[in-house]
Structure 1
Amino acid sequence: MFKKISLLLGLILILSGCKSQNSIFTKKDKADHSITSTGKKKKGDTKSYSEVITSDAKTDDGLFKVHRVGEKLYFEIPSNLMEKDMLLVSRIAKVPSGYGGGYINAGSKVNEQVVRWFRRGANVDMKVISFENQSEQDSPIYQSVAANNFSPILFSSKIEAFNADSTNVVIDVTGLFDSEIAAINGMSASMKKRYKVKKLDQNRSFIESAHAYPENIEVKHVMTYEAEEPPERDQAGTISLLMNQSMILLPEKLMQPRLADDRVGWFSVRKYDYDSEQLKSDDYEIIRRWRLEPKDVEAYKRGELVEPIKPIVYYLDPATPLKWRPYFKKGIEDWNVAFEKAGFKNAIIAKDPPTKEEDPEFSPEDVRYSVVRYVASTTRNATGPSVIDPRTGEIIESDIIWYHNHLRSYRNRFMIEAGAQNPDARTLDTPEKEIGEMMRMVIAHEVGHALGLPHNMKASSAYPTDSLRSANFTQKYGLTPSIMDYARVNYVAQPEDKNVRYIRMMGPYDLYAINWGYRFLPEAVDPKSEKKTLDAWILEKEGDPIYEFGGGYDGIDPQSQRESLGKDQIKASEYGLANLQKVVPNLIEWTSKDGYNYNDLQEVYTELIGLWRGYINHVITNVGGVYETKKTSNQEGTVYTAVPKSIQKNAVNFLNNNAFNTPDWLLNESILDRIEASGAIERIQKLQTGALKSLLGEERIKRMITNEEQNGSDAYSVLEMIKDLRKGVFSELYKNKKVDAYRRNLQRSYVDIASAYIANVRTQDNESILKSDIIALMRGDLQSLRYDINSRRSRVNDQLTTYHWKDLIARIDTALRVE
């Protein structure tokens, strides 16, 4: 058996699925659970049961008994639950308006941690247990791992009484819930600082309810803080949070973990094995997934679709508007197609919220229920968090969060990115069919997270860009091979393209990833014995970009970017900008409503500017970009490959034409005269300066230098890039033309960015820049630019342009002067 024991204060056999659990305590060290009530009672001894749990007590029985006696709460813990693993999940059940900037809501998880109750003489301690570090129990290093992973005590209470047969201890846990304990608290240090919180007011903090269920305990308690600057209703000078604490007994029979592989995207849990023969601690990861096991293993082996013993069930929040419920349910159950690929049918089920008669105990905060929470908030977002058993990576429960105003995001984006091509997008009253489909796919995306899948930003690059203009292709394959990509609206399609799909959908990568993570392998006795099969599935898809994974957060791989579409980002951005140019002249008509102001126009126009920035950044990433294809050592080829020279050069040409040439079409006077008194010049300056700073960023230049050193003339050199850029940014200089206000701002930004690099020589601020070629490059470029300005500035008969050239020379001279 593959016995690996996870520590803190009780290392558990997690990698074998075995039933036993072992503590790091020796027999001598173990707490004495043979509680007796014999002997003469002395002063200070425990009270009788009836003295503590009086006739006034309100008792609820389940995992163990909870008693409310006046303002006090008692837990009656059986001896057979001592040292058992329990997951303590802390959530905010109710929250003041605006708390945390709108991103903390009713249902937000604060913390999750495994705890165990320990008897310590006349006291009971609740300790936090970690499972990150591992060692065999009979290994010599086991003692050191235990000694260096000492469990913190979260809460301690003296034993108040025993039950009649002395098998249960009664402890007062009131202080756990009406005192300020950081590990279960909804008020973080940053929130205290933000709202200038003085202290917890215990007079206004209390336990609201406590309930026991067969496998969990649920406690709600109000925490009230005195605050100088509360988010809303500051007349009271307080912030009150209703907290919900869920304590769930973790399963004795552990789910068999599955080893993670970064070639297939999964959320994971890191482990460290100190018994490794690799002359180091062997760090590895296991994936986060629900426990799906077939009811009929033999039928499953024969290739039949089999229902799981315990399907994944999501309930809709009772607050969900009735008209949106069908779309939410479809978004949840869309994943059944993927689970069928893994051999399961009816693996995930969406249910309406039960009535009081159907389930009087239903509560969205109860960890027995996974719920799609509908949050009445102006926040424009959706999330898909989950709660896991850290021993094995098993997902215990999850709550999908849908913020009401996320509808606003999709309404606006649909108009901006599809308005030129799709008549249904030319209104802020988006037809229900379209907005419902968008909601469905957002829910599907967030459920994907809750199933264990992270973002796969690389997926979209698997499809040829022009395929997204095809009705047949998009209706069959969608916009990207994965719903986990950020590819919300088809901005590539053009007005002449008919019947194309505009909204993302689930794709082949999703089916592949779910099969890889969830297919039950009955012959595998431990995680290592699964690896050969899992690796074979990956190698079957080797070389097919549809099945590649990339997180897209390092900003290096242009094929792995948020919101990009298609393999060719330059072409996609050209299509996107062409559509935006057609949308802008129509925004007043599409957003105006008789009797109302132009707030909607301002909002949509501002978001359109943001999408322009996104399209530009998609192209910038190609310059100095590096393609990443995740591989293991048994696969041929390299992991990292520089973007070809021709593509990088084309990207700079695109930027000169579309980002650094003034985008006059954005400066629509009819719009600007309705939404602002001034600011257009500064807005364009900010957009262009941001693009320039990104293009001339330190890490990008260093990658280009490295690429040139490795690939010689096949590389797009940084000198060539800067020369191409300079010719574009200063085109008026080389064409003897007048420079307008927008371009003057851009050119000043160029000189200022280069000058800021050189300033490091004086300030000694950045050693990495001082030791690189960047300062020499920027100094040489400014010297060349100074020479060109001096030799050409008199060729234009425009006084302001002449002043501008003189100003740039003065700036360059200042930058080059090192004292």
Structure 2
Amino acid sequence: MQSHLCILAVLGHFLLLAVPAAAQTPALSASGGGLLAAAAREDEKSFDEVVRGYRASQGLFTVYTNLEENRVLIEIAPEQFERLFLCNVTLEAGDGLYFDSGAMLDNFPFIFKRVGKRIQLIHKNVYYRAETGTPIGRAVERAVSSSIVGSAKIESRPHPERKSVLVDLSSFFVQDYAGVANALGRHKIDFVFDRSESYLGPVSAFPLNVEIEAVLHFKNNRPRGTDGRIADGRSMQHRYRYSLSTLSEGGGSYRPRPADDRVGHFLTLHQDYTDPTAETPYVRYINRWHLEKADPSAALSPPRQPIVFWLERTVPLEYREAVREGVLLWNRAFEGIGIEGALEVRQQPDDAEWDPADVRYNTVRWIVNPGGAYAVGPARANPFTGQIYDADIRISADLVRYLVREREDYVIPLAGPAALTPLLTRLPVSQLCQFQAGLASEAAFGWSVLAARLGGLDPTAREAQAYIHDAIRALVAHEVGHTLGLRHNFRASAAHAHAHLHDRSRTQKTGVSASVMDYNPVNLAPRGKPQGEFWNSGLGEYDYWAIAYAYKPFEAIEESAGLARIAERNLPYGTDEDAFGFDARGIDPVTSPFDLGSDPIRFYRERIEMAGELLATAERGYLRKGERYQKMRRLFSQALRAHATAAASVPKFVGGLYHRRHHRGDAGDQLPFEPVSAARQREALAFLGRYIFGAGAFAFSPSLLNQLPPERFEDFSNTPFYTARIDYPVHDQVLDIQKRALGRLYHPIALHRLADLPLHYAKGQPRFTLADMFSSVRSAIWEEVTRHQSISSFRRNLQRAHLAQLLTLAGPNPQAALWSALGIAAASGASAPPEDAASLARADLTALHTQIRRALAKGKLDALTRAHLDASLARITELIEPASGRSGD
């Protein structure tokens, strides 16, 4: 991921930005000499006096270290004041509980500015610009504000010859720069930054960069359990790496490449006020590495300088080959544009002295963050050109554990496929990735299904090792794609016909999905059918296309036309702000995470049938003698997860619009929007009616439910003592699944879109309306009432949830009521539901009022059904007949 942490359209404060080539200069001014001389005072110590006893290291800046005093000074020369540099911030070592190690935080341009006897380190605002020296340029300069990151007093008189001054680095960098205390405070965790016990670690100077380590201490006077990952809950330490470097200009030959919204790349952007008549004030460059052919005339040439990834010595030996393959997979795409060996993989020796956090090394790192099943692959780019110059992929050691089993089932089992995310990230939302957590759940589900079919699966067996190997390779390929500048593509998985998913002769050429940048699930064959590839073994067609747009060599004169020809192919592409996860803002039902094939409804149908197969196998004796029953609880949660994902995804067809990023005249000349056909929407509702809402959707045997104990072993947090329910909360979990579907169908945004949908259909084309949705859902959920039958406990819960939706829609303040009922925040774009929805809700309530009265009068109902219907009738009556009260039977 240029990460990711596998979601959405708004760009954050620290997004890397770009300027025209004419403005690519690292020096804003060279001021400072006169001010330095003027400020010198006789009572200040001389330069040599201050650094006496210090060890000097020369580089981009000269730094002086005194180990006895634990003090580091930096020398700033006159020509280095008000000159642009870059600062990269990395969380080099976290605490193993709240924050992981190796997290890339910020990348920002800065200057040193002298103000009297102090030096300020200023984050320079380069996000709004205009041509230097023009009136509008001066106006922009006055209008935008830069930010002070740190301030330090001058420690000496200027050097007598160099005129440089000294400042203490700790004043700049020993601070809670990343906002750890605030991040934890939002979670009611009371750690505060402790300046007195924080200090600078090793500082190294190199010709193009200076590496600064800061060891920060956080204390907590009200500690809570820490899972043993923090030795003492009152204290934790972090290590941060600050890399100060020059601005790379790509050797003089790098040209920023303009972005195109038809292809998915991370962007560097700024607003340019120079030309007020421009179509857009934004200048957008894609983020990419500086790759050039060594021999531009050759059809296939190695690069002048390859992209080198080092496998850190922390990567376990047994996974290094899978990681290597995942990185090198991308060479196929570069070969397609004439660059051979664009990426290289090298192994860090065990005795290497260089630090993987050094900005000069791109690494794949294994980290330990117990309970965190994730991987991220961010990259840093020049804020003026978009040129990527540093990338580090980190993979949680626990992720491999979860490839073959679900997480320990202490929490609600359906917390979601991507519930574990680092608390601290400064990445823009467009760069967050949660593929790894979902992949872990998918892999665990696939492992359980295969184990059930085979009567067990030995993790040491060749086939099992290949399964894990291929999953890691797919994960690494996804993350490397991010480091190459590629964004997610959630439409790619729908590019291939469902019938071809297990045809190895096809998938080995085109991939299981059209892109490794999708959140691709494990590709499981239905029982009795040949099994194809579980994971993408190669790149998809989209990946070749996106790499060609970013990296194909062009002469300057032909670049614009060449890029247009590539983009016009318009392969299926939809990213985070198109999918919005499972949020109601996502309108395209084939732009979703964790589906596969051109028919998502069929995919989810097969998944739920596999979940049923898994539970049926469990009934026949999944456990071997001596195995613990806790394994059954994890398996049961895996089966329910298949229903949960379907319940969140399939409702996207109802009121859905297929969304394309086409430009006029592109291949096929299709319009950006196409309404989902009425037949397809009815198919989706039929699916929900059977597999999510249906009376037989959740039928579990007593024997199975009596085999679902939680873990009873003690752990570092005494979790068994805090478990709310020892028995499995089966009704709660099923209702949670059903509410996912209801919440999507009745979300105000979805209702508004469904109200608009008839306007999108061509004349004579069958239409699907709000009225169709309301009547279909009511008929599916209240079927027993029309048949005068007793109602099961699962269905009673579902009917209460549906009734609550209708009552809030038809009530006096449906907007606030729905927000509360659905857990919708105003930030998600929620609005008052359409008036027609309120009218239809009232019509549904009126129909139910009549049907329930008849069922109570004529049906042979059990006591619980009668009580449930009587209570439902009372609630409806209170709304539709408030004056007269409940009418007689």
Pick from 413, 423, 435: which aligns with 2:468?
435
How far does residue 557 in structure 1 lie from its aligned partner after superposition? 0.5
SS at match of 2:707: helix
Alignment of 1:64-213 (within 5 A): 64-69=61-66, 70-99=69-98, 104-120=99-115, 122-159=117-154, 160-163=156-159, 165-178=161-174, 180=175, 182=176, 184-185=177-178, 187-194=180-187, 196-197=189-190, 199-213=192-206
**2:27 and 2:83 in contact (8 A); partners too:** no
Asked whether 1:386 is paired with 2:390, we answer: no
Say if 1:133 and 1:271, in contact at 8 Å, map to a contact too: yes
Matched with 1:759 is: 811
- Per the alignment, residue 348 of structure 1 pairs with 343
Secondary structure of the residue aligned to 1:380 is coil
Summarize the Cα distance change of 1:315–1:764 in structure 2 as closer, same or farther, 3 Å threshold.
closer
Residue aligning to 1:4: none
Amino acid at match of 1:796: G
Length-normalised TM-score, structure 2: 0.82
The within-5 A match list for 1:770-785 is: 772-785=835-848
Could you say if the C-alpha distance between residues 593 and 215 of structure 1 is closer, same or farther in structure 2, counting changes exceeding 3 Å? farther
**Given the superposition, is the C-alpha separation of residues 504 and 762 from structure 1 closer, same or farther in structure 2, using an over 3 Å criterion?**
closer
Q: Which amino acid aligns with 1:628?
A: H
Q: Would you say 1:813 and 2:867 are equivalent positions?
A: no
Instruction: Show CA shifts across 1:265-301 (max 9, x none).
Output: 11112321102242786124221111112222333xx
Cα distance in structure 1, aligned partners of 2:240 and 2:642: 39
- The match for 2:317 among 304, 315, 322 is 322
Superposition map of 1:226-241 within 5 A: 226-227=219-220, 228-229=222-223, 231=226, 233=230, 235=232, 237-241=234-238
Contact 2:690 2:696 in 1 (8 A): no
Q: Which amino acid counterpart does residue 459 of structure 2 have in structure 1?
A: D
> For each residue in 1:720-778, what CA deviation from the matched residue of structure 2 results, as whole angstroms up to 9, or x when unmatched?
12212222212222233221222122112211111122234489768942663221111
Instruction: Indicate the RMSD between aligned Cα atoms, in angstroms.
Output: 3.0
Could you tell me whether the CA contact under 8 Å between 2:513 and 2:536 is conserved in 1? yes
Matches within 5 A, 1:658-807: 658-663=691-696, 667-676=700-709, 677-711=727-761, 714-761=766-813, 768-769=831-832, 772-800=835-863, 801-807=865-871
- The answer to whether residue 579 in structure 2 is matched with residue 552 in structure 1 is yes
Partner residue in 1 for 2:388: 395
TM-superposed CA distance for 1:122, in Å, is 4.8
Aligned position for 1:582: 613
- Which sits farther off after the overlay, 711-720 or 577-586? 711-720
User: 8 Å contact 1:127–1:153 — kept in the other structure?
Assistant: yes
Preserved contact between residue 59 and residue 207 of structure 2 (Cα < 8 Å) = yes
Of residues 53, 57, 61, the one that matches 2:58 is: 61
User: After superposition, what is the alpha-carbon deviation per residue over 1:244-269, rounded to whole angstroms, capped at 9, x for unaligned?
Assistant: 21112222456322111111011112
1:590–1:583: structure 2 CA closer, same or farther, 3 Å change rule?
same
User: Which shifted more, 139-148 or 496-505?
Assistant: 496-505
Looking at structure 1, the residues matched to 18 and 105 of structure 2 have their Cα atoms a distance apart, in angstroms, of 28
In structure 2, distance between residues paired with 1:591 and 1:381: 29
Number of residue equivalences: 780
The farther-off stretch of 411-420 and 341-350 is 411-420
Q: Secondary structure at the match of 2:835?
A: coil
Partner of 2:681: 648
The 1:531/1:523 distance shift into structure 2, 3 A limit, reads closer
Is contact 1:87–1:250 with CA below 8 Å preserved after alignment? yes
The C-alpha deviation readout for 1:591-645, integer Å capped at 9, x for no partner, is 7465453333322321331222112333211111110011224544421111010
Q: Structure 1 residues 575, 176: closer, same or farther in 2, change over 3 A?
A: same
The residue that corresponds to 2:593 in the other structure is: 562
1:33 aligns with 2:85: no
- What does residue 259 of structure 1 align with? 258
Moved more, 370-379 or 646-655: 370-379
SS at match of 2:196: helix
SS at match of 2:33: coil
Tell me if the contact between 1:13 and 1:21 (Cα under 8 Å) persists in the aligned partners: no
Q: How many Å separate the matches in 2 of 1:154 and 1:51? A: 29
Give the aligned partner of residue 20 of structure 2.
15
Offset of residue 342 of structure 1: 2.7
Query: Residues 65 and 72 of structure 2 are in contact (CA less than 8 Å); yes or no, is this contact kept in structure 1?
Result: yes
CA 1:147/1:673 → structure 2, altered by over 3 Å: closer, same or farther?
same
Q: Is the CA contact (8 Å cut-off) linking 1:76 and 1:170 kept in structure 2?
A: yes
Does residue 500 (structure 1) correspond to residue 505 (structure 2)? The answer is no
Larger displacement relative to structure 2 (209-218 or 158-167): 158-167
CA distance 1:574–1:277, change in 2 (3 Å): same
User: The residue matched to 1:722 in structure 2 has which SS?
Assistant: helix
Q: Could you tell me how far apart the structure 2 residues matched to 1:41 and 1:783 are?
A: 87
> Is the alpha carbon distance of 1:77 and 1:665 closer, same or farther for their aligned partners in structure 2, counting shifts above 3 Å?
same
Q: How far apart, CA to CA, are the structure 1 residues paired with 2:781 and 2:36?
A: 87
- Give the SS at the match of 1:769: coil
AA of the residue aligned to 2:466: K
Q: Match of 1:205, SS? A: strand
**1:531, distance to aligned residue in structure 2 (A):** 3.2
Q: Deviations over 1:114-147 (max 9, x none)?
A: 1122345654332111322121114220001111
What residue in structure 1 maps to residue 363 of structure 2?
A: 371
Counterpart secondary structure, 2:357: coil
What is the rounded CA distance, in whole Å, between the counterparts of 1:384 and 1:290 in structure 2? 15
Partner of 2:21: helix, strand, or coil? coil
Cα separation, 2, equivalents of 1:426 and 1:698: 47
- Give 1:150 shift: 2.9
CA distance in 2, matches of 1:549, 1:158: 47
- 5 Å matches for 1:480-629? 480-491=513-524, 493-505=525-537, 506-524=539-557, 530-539=559-568, 541-542=569-570, 545=572, 551-553=578-580, 554-587=585-618, 592=623, 595-629=626-660
- Shift of the 770–706 alpha-carbon distance from structure 1 to 2, 3 Å rule, reads closer
2: CA distance between counterparts of 1:117 and 1:286? Answer: 27
Percent identity between matched residues is 23
Gaps of 5+ in 1: 1-7
How many Å apart are 1:437 and its aligned residue? 1.1
Cα deviations across residues 30-64 of structure 1 (Å, max 9, x unaligned)? 62436987x9984334x32320111x212222222
Q: Is the 8 A contact 2:308 2:343 kept in 1?
A: yes
* 2:285 aligned partner: 286
Q: Which moved more, 1:713-722 or 1:369-378?
A: 713-722
Report the TM-score, using the length of structure 1 for normalisation. Answer: 0.89
Contact 1:627 1:643 in 2 (8 A): yes
8 Å contact 1:313–1:348 — kept in the other structure? yes
How far, CA to CA, are the matches of 2:388 and 2:334 in structure 1?
Answer: 16
1:328 CA displacement: 0.7
1:591 and 1:432, CA in 2 relative to 1: closer, same or farther beyond 3 A?
farther
CA 1:806–1:201 in structure 2 vs 1: closer, same or farther (change >3 Å)?
closer
Unaligned runs of 5+ in 2: 1-12, 406-441, 710-726, 820-829, 884-889
